[in-house]
A and B are shown apart, each in its own frame.
Chain A
Amino acid sequence: MARPALSLRNVGKVWSPEGRQTVEALRDFSLDVEPGEFVVFLGPSGCGKSTLLYMIAGLEETTSGVIEQDGMVVTEPSAERGLIFQDASLFPWLTIADNVAFGLSVQGVLPQKRKEQAESILRSVGLSDMLDKKPDELSGGMRQRAACARALAMRPKVLMMDEPFAALDVQTRAKMQDFLLQIWQDSKASIILVTHSIDEAVSLADRVVVFTARPGRVKTIVPIDLPRPRMSRDPRYHEYRDMFADLLADEVDRAFAEQEAR
């Protein structure tokens, strides 16, 4: 097989915030993500999923272990590894088009060129009417799409998303999942999606990585062997769902037990 897009080897992270107790968020975490693969992180709250995304992005340092992207050790952030936050984090002082063009402008692409690129990306995410709008004039779903467009403008190899749809209503969520599959196929990037929703995991992922309670480790990795588009009526869909529910319940119980013990 070809070289993995992303390779995590024995990654660990211990937070040592000033004046507070240290927290071991992640321990001995190993995973390879293939080019163009769709991976979902599933795990109990506080098990270090966000921490891991930040480290892959290069925003935080690992305490132990190595993260490589295309064979190169990750030491600092790069637009090749895009990260999308739950709150979209668009800049309120820029129009949608300028938000999407932000990365291009920082990298010195000329105004005319970046305007064209931003427009074409926004068209592809269905926001061509919103070019000159302010972020707070958009609905939550549109803002998330704009945030995707901003990341996609940099042609990332890996696109990470930290619970991007958690704040959206059910209908919008379903639409956004279709949308996400669409941009995944168009961009050919590897996607890592963090979610608390088992349904989201089953309907989107090539592989689901289930985390243990803190410190987060790989509990199991489950390939979802269902053709797309996936139907929630499919009995096998339900089997996957039940399986993840059990796996998660285990870990959530453990997390609670640990908290009680302390």
Chain B
Amino acid sequence: MSIPASSRQSAPASVPRLSPRARRTLSSLGWGVLSIGLFAGIWEALWALGLVNPLLLPPPHMFLSDLGRTLTFFDHEARRIGSQGSGGAIAGLLTTIGWTSFRVIVGLGLGFVAGVGVGAMIHYVRLFRNLVQPLILLLAPISPVAWLPVAIFVFGVGDVPAIFLVFITVFFMIVLATVSQISSVPKNYLHVARIMGATERQTFWRVILPAILPSLFMTLRLNLFAAWMVVLIAESVGVGIGLGQITSMARATFNAKLVFFTMVIIGVLGFSFDWALRKVQQKMLWWIQPGQGGI
């Protein structure tokens, strides 16, 4: 993985006079490559010195070089038929990644929207608040993983329990953040809205929501990694195609190469998701300076 990154870095280095921004990007890229390279290097060195067992901890060059074979495990057609797949392997990998990402995205999206909705209801509707808030406070601290059996009892085996777990991971956090943020919207913003004659509805959509969105997004991002963890756990108990299911199969068959390869994929995906969410955040919350408000 470090190889394409370093070659990318050397190309713009020949261009004289970079903008400060480009230089910053390059430098952080450089440190990233160095950091990962160092880690991989030590691992390789330990292997070369015979200090780690390549069957249990195969160094990067081993689990990355044997790609052709490793990828076949992602090729569902091939696996089902029992022959060595050809060409379908990459497609298989992408399908697997796609399914896992799909569950994360749908779960996050639903959890965010439902969380904001329920949070707003708690704020505005007294009866709802009295009825629901205690329940939310009670359920929020329960680890999402503890919901797994419930999810499977209720939804059976399939996509839904995995999506449900991701949903649960963000939902309660967003509800709590929404409730607390709504009550800390600056009073003067609300005063301006009232003086201008805004209705409750207009005030919510045009003042309260934009005012609380930055911290809700922050909450979402903080819970992104947790969402990734639960989706893998949910997949490992048999949802069908997915990265979690590959890891659990790899563990069951003592396939260390496959384990590490999948770990790399999961790491890269988690990183990309965080990056993408940050970009969405910058687009949607255009009024917040980078570096401010956690962007």
Contacts and interface: CB of A to CB of B under 8 A. Distances in A.
Contacts of B193: 106
Contacts of A252: none
Contacts of A76: 194
A161 interface: no
Interface in A187-241: none
Per DSSP, are chain B's interface residues mostly helix, strand or loop, or mixed?
helix
Contacts of B197: 77-79, 103, 106-107
Contact of B192 (A58, A81, A89, A107): A89
A256 interface: no
A93 B195 CA distance: 19
A136 B287 CA distance: 9
Q: Which of B186, B189, B193, B196 has the most CB of A within 10 A?
A: B196
B188 A85 contact: yes
Contact of B287 (A77, A93, A154): A93
B191 interface: yes
A134 B292 CA distance: 14
Contact of B186 (A77, A89, A154): A89
Contacts of B198: 106
A77 B195 CA distance: 5
Given A91-B189, A93-B287, A106 B206 contact: yes
Contacts of B206: 102, 106
A11 interface: no
B189 A82 contact: no
Interface string B200-242: 0010001100110100000000000000000000000000000
A81 B210 contact: no
B257 to A, nearest CB: 49
Q: How large is the interface on A (under 10, 10 to 19, 20 to 34, 35 or more residues)?
A: 20 to 34
A92 B285 CA distance: 10
Say whether chain A's binding surface is mostly helix, strand, loop, or mixed: loop
A106 B196 contact: yes
Contacts of B285: 93
Contact of B196 (A59, A79, A87, A93): A79
A83 interface: yes
A109 B266 CA distance: 51
A134 B288 CA distance: 9
Contacts of B189: 89, 91
Contacts of A26: none
Given A106-B202, A106-B206, A92 B195 contact: no
23 contacts: A57-B191, A58-B195, A59-B194, A76-B194, A77-B191, A78-B197, A83-B191, A83-B195, A85-B188, A85-B191, A87-B188, A89-B191, A89-B192, A91-B192, A91-B210, A102-B192, A102-B196, A102-B206, A103-B196, A106-B197, A106-B206, A107-B196, A154-B196
Interface of A: 57-59, 76-79, 81-83, 85, 87, 89, 91-94, 102-103, 106-107, 134, 136, 150, 154
7 closest A-B pairs by beta carbon, nearest first, are: A103-B196, A89-B188, A93-B210, A77-B194, A106-B198, A77-B195, A93-B287
